[in-house]
Amino acid sequence: MSQLPRPAHTRRLRVAAVAAALLGLLLAPAAVPSAAAPRLPAGPGSAPTVAAVASGGTAALTGYAIRSTAEVPDTAAAVSTPGYATTGWHRAGPRSTVLAALVADGTHPDPFYSTDQQRIPRRDFADPWWYRSDFTLPDTAERTSLDFSGVISAADVYVNGRQVASAAEVAGVYTRHELDITDLVRAGTNTVAFRIQPNDPRKHLTLGWLDWLQPPPDANMGIVRDVLVRRRGPVSLHDAHVVTGLDVSSPGSGPAELTVKARVRNDSQEAATATVTAAISGTGIVLREDVTLRARETRTLVFAPDRHRQLRLQRPALWWPAGMGPQNLYGLHLTATVAGSRSDSVRHPFGIRDVKAPLDSAGARRYTINGRPLLIRGAGWSADELLRWDTTAAEDRIKAALDAGLNTLRLEGHIEPDEFFDLADRHGILLLPGWECCDKWEGQVNPTGTGEKWNAADRLTARASMAAEAARLRDHPSVLSFLIGSDFAPDAQTERDYLDALRAADWPTPVVPAASAVTTALSGPSGMRMTGPYDWVPPSYWYDKREGGATGFNSETSAGPSIPTLDTLRRTLSPAELETLWESPSAPQYHRSPSRTFNTLKLFNDALAHRYGAPRSLRDYVAKAQLGQYENVRAQFEAYARNATDSTDPSTGLVYWMFNSGWTSLHWQLVDRYLDQGGAYYGAKKANEPLHIQYSYDDRTVAVINRRPDAVAGLTARVTLFGTDGTSLYDRTVRGLRVGGDGARTTAATVPAVVAASDGPDSTYLARLTLTDSAGREVSRNVYWLSTRPDVLDYDATDWYHTPTTTYGDLTGLNSLAAATVTATARTTRHAGSLSTTTVTIRNTSSGNTPALLTDLHLVDGRDAPLLPVRWNDNQISLWPGESAVLTAHHRTADPADGALRVRISGWNTPATHITPSSP
């Protein structure tokens, strides 16, 4: 999503060369998952480890020596010859942009702090850069090839002094390339060199950063996926995958059929007969077939259930999203042998699940999985700004998303490497990948974007990109759909090309023409809308069934800014920037967005000052921001959950914009760069509880939402309203509630429109909602701070990114809350490995009637720095005098060198204190 128009340019490429090369890419092999690679090398003095490729094996290049071509006078033949001296070159990891390497070796400063990124000269990246790596072979008895994607933006490729591909052929970050280098390699050391062309997302089908963050000065030029060196026998296997069919007439329990497909290719100059064996782990299925091929012939091999009855599974182990069932995975192992010797093999996991997404009566796309309804509770995913891959960091973020109750992540471009999709499969998070908006990808169709118009070479690159990503992603059960358009749908020719490529790949899930509300000739209505908002609106906004309110499927929506915790702010901004943050509410903020629409926090800050009172200090500003973000994010997810079962215009999905940021940001994030968690995150986590009680801002109803599979009965709901002085204004208990499963709701009560508040007609008051089960255990607690004066929206003045507020609710009464006293005890238990659990029992010991509002717990070290990441069962809770709660944190074991682990407790009206956990 972007609204930054720039002048158009014309791309000049050798169309004929691109056409010849990229048509072949439509049959490129599927990606093979590789082991996690180190993010970056040690520094400029170290040399990349040489990749050793065993007989019949596959190995990724382990790193590169890199340098600007402006500093290398030697020829490409010399640079790509074994033994060439790279003294003075920089060292890069196996997946690295130029800037990522230069930051790692200290050439350039950390671009994530303050405005240090502006100190990095863009002229350093105006010329192509060499990426040079060596690999060794024990012999030349087998065929050898280079297999890769992830080049930004394009590259000339050389092996042992000879050019094997041009930048016209190796163009686009997603296109996959298999280059046969058998005749060029030798026993011993071999060299591959890439001359990487500069990137410009306006001109190339790569990726950019739109209005998400300040773009990196190198525009991410480099190689960001593994370059694999493959060795095979005379017959090779390609495009191996499993097509699954599931009977959903009885949701979750129907039989399934499997079809195994692969292309078998004879790479030799003589006829050959290969025995192809397909084994599926967990089933006992082993199938064999002999395939006779002429020299250089390719044939598609199909193991189908009509010929192999064992491919019909009566009780398949299904893959489910987290919270709906287990994440069962099978494994496909395909082997080709020639004359009794292994020639090639392929191994990868797959899952059995059925995804459908028909349009409902209101035209909204409504997903089901394995026959069961699914409300999409999603958020937008961002890659790292420098495209550094870190498997542990990605897994931490996926776990945080699941912990916040999300079930889906949307990838608008920036389609991550194989390990990301493996993690999603394993943890049960659904994915919505697709192409990004507003740059070259929408150059043909987006009049407000920055992308240039396509030429014939671009069309081939786009089609090859779609074919490669479809083949790479199709067997991942976590992939829910592919969005072939974002803000705009592709034009008719491009849509046809994309759909043909997807169909050829046996794409198994719904294809969505755009994330916006469009209809195309081939795909029909998108069933989605992209109404925003992208900047501040009040919590009540989400309950109106108009604009971005809770109806249909909203693919991008949130109230915009997200101020991180004070700990993170101090790691992100300079002291002067921290002062500007709260003292100059209309000032441009470098860490918000490069967009002129979003480069300040004015709308957010105006609302904060009107509703909560002008900030008195940085700490006060951050505290008020956490309250505001908590109530707003919670309302967004709660409104969509409540309206999901409406008989007219129900909500079917939302994608919070966004889950995370690729750098240190004040913009569009539920979690910050360091995975610290503030009001936005805990608002989402509260709203998305499996069994949840909630208040509705529009009609004041109290509803119970049950996301568990089974119905729950014998529930008791209690609603109590309080003045800010602690006076009870209303109290009602409703017993014997029952609510169905899979997102069903029941209405427990309606709160009075007028409460007898003690401090005036426009006063602030508090609502405490509790839900207990049939045994009297509290299963959900939810506390709201409300105003008798509503926020008033001017819908007639709505623009593409927000709806103005003309009258603000009055929450300034929170400033008069008396100080609360809390006490706590804590205990930390170390587990095997490096994991620990800290359990905190916290109690409000105040003598009066004042609650401890939004009480936050942080694990910190001896310097009071947060221990991250941490997953709490609950946090930022509100307790009345005499009430207590037990909160549990799962985390990595603290490093003793950082000092004793402590629990920092603070809150809106609770002074900060620290306690030291005991040990068993």
What own/partner pairs with CB < 8 Å and gap ≥ 24 does 394-399 have? 394/419, 394/420, 394/423, 395/423, 395/427, 396/675, 396/869, 397/659, 397/660, 397/671, 397/675, 398/423, 398/424, 398/427, 398/429, 399/427, 399/869, 399/871
Peptide bond into 538 cis (omega under 30): no
User: Which residue type is seen at 835?
Assistant: L
Hey, is 919 helix, strand or coil? coil
Catalytic residue among 105, 487, 567, 791: 487
Q: Would you state the structure tokens that stand for residue 871, as one six-digit string?
A: 């997953």
**Alpha-carbon dihedral sign for residues 114, 118, 121, 122:** positive
What is the rounded CA–CA span in Å between residue 632 and residue 640?
A: 13
| E strands in 756-810 | 764-772, 778-787, 792-793, 805-807
The dihedral over CA atoms of 568, 573, 577, 580, expressed in degrees to the nearest 10, equals -20
* Phi/psi of residue 267, nearest 5 degrees: -90, 0
Cβ(717)–Cβ(702) below 8 Å: yes
C-alpha distance across the termini of the chain, in Å: 51
Q: Look at the alpha carbons of 688, 692, 697, 699 in this order and tell me if their dihedral is positive or negative.
A: positive
Q: Is the peptide bond before 153 cis (omega within 30 degrees of 0)?
A: yes
Q: Which tokens in the block code for residue 211? A: 């209005």
**Could you tell me which residues are beta bridge partners of residue 275?**
290, 337
CB 822 within 8 A of CB 730: no
Is 794 designated active site? no
In this structure, what DSSP letter does residue 425 have?
H
Q: Is position 672 annotated as part of the catalytic site?
A: no
Least Cα distance to 358 among 500, 641, 553, 491 occurs for 553
Count CA within 13 A, CB hemisphere, residue 33. 18
Decide: 726 and 848 in contact? Cβ < 8 Å: yes
Q: Which residues of 358-371 are buried (b: 16+ CB within 10 A; e: fewer)?
A: eeeeebbbbbebbb
Q: What is the DSSP string of 728-761?
A: EEEEEEEEEEEE-STTEEEEEEE--S----TT-T
Residue 245 is encoded by which pair of tokens? Answer: 């069919």
Amino acid at site 757: A
Q: Yes or no: say if 487 and 1 are a contact pair by the CB < 8 Å rule.
A: yes
**Across 792-860, where does the E strand assignment appear?**
792-793, 805-807, 822-830, 835-844, 852-860
CB neighbours of residue 920 within 10 Å? 6
| Backbone dihedral angles phi then psi of residue 661, each to the nearest 5 degrees | -115, 155
Three-state DSSP class for residue 686: helix
User: 568-572: long-range contacts (C-beta < 8 A, 24 or more apart)?
Assistant: 568/664, 568/672, 568/673, 568/674, 568/676, 569/618, 569/622, 571/113, 571/664, 571/674, 572/112, 572/113, 572/114, 572/664, 572/673
Spell out the alpha helix ranges (H) of 613-726.
618-643, 679-687
Q: Give the 3-state secondary structure of 12-67.
A: CCCHHHHHHHHHHHCCCCCCCCCCCCCCCCCCCCCCCCCEECCCCCEEECCCEEEE
Which residues fall within 8 angstroms of residue 609, CB to CB, at 6 or more apart?
A: 585, 615
Separation between Cα atoms, residue 145 and residue 237, nearest integer Å: 13
Q: Which of 218, 384, 495, 556 is catalytic?
A: 556
Name, in order, each residue with C-beta under 8 angstroms of 779's C-beta and a sequence gap of 6 or more: 691, 715, 771, 772, 773
| Residue 677 near residue 577, CB atoms below 8 Å | no
Q: Which residues are catalytic?
A: 487, 556
